[in-house]
Amino acid sequence: MSVWSRIVELAARAFDPEAEAPEHGEECAPHSNDVGFTAAVIGLAAKMAKADGITTEVEMAAAARVFRPPPGEEENFQRAFMLAQQTVLGFDSYAKQIGRRYRARPCLLEDVLDGLFHIAGADGAISDREVAYLDAVAGHFGFTDLEFRRIKATNLGPDAGDPYAILGLLPGADMEEVRRAWRRLAAENHPDRMVQRGAPPEFVDIARDKTAAINAAYARIRQELSTPVA
Within 10 Å of residue 6's Cβ, how many Cβ atoms? Answer: 17
| pLDDT of 224 | 86
Burial class for 229, CB neighbours closer than 10 Å (0-12, 13-18, 19+)? exposed
| pLDDT of 187 | 92
pTM exceeds 0.75: no
- Name the CATH code of domain 1-143 (choices 1.10.3680, 1.10.287, 1.10.8, 1.25.40): 1.10.3680
| pLDDT of 5 | 41
**Is residue 95 a contact partner of residue 137, using CB atoms and an 8 Å limit?**
yes
Closest CA to 181 of 165, 163, 169: 169
Which residues lie closer than 8 Å to 15 by C-beta, 6 or more apart? 28, 29, 30, 108, 111, 197, 199
Q: Tell me, what amino acid is at 101? A: R
Closest CA to 60 of 83, 39, 40: 83
Give, in order, the Cα–Cα distances in Å from 219 to each of 8, 19, 50.
Answer: 42, 31, 37
Give, in order, the Cα–Cα distances in Å from 86 to each of 51, 58, 215.
Answer: 10, 17, 40
Radius of gyration for the chain, computed over Cα atoms and rounded to the nearest angstrom? 18
Do 1-143 and 158-230 show the same overall fold?
A: no
For the chain, domain boundaries: 1-143, 158-230
**Is residue 121 a contact partner of residue 181, using CB atoms and an 8 Å limit?**
no
Q: What stretches in the chain show pLDDT beneath 50?
A: 1-26, 230
Q: Which CATH architecture is the domain 158-230 placed in?
A: Orthogonal Bundle (1.10)
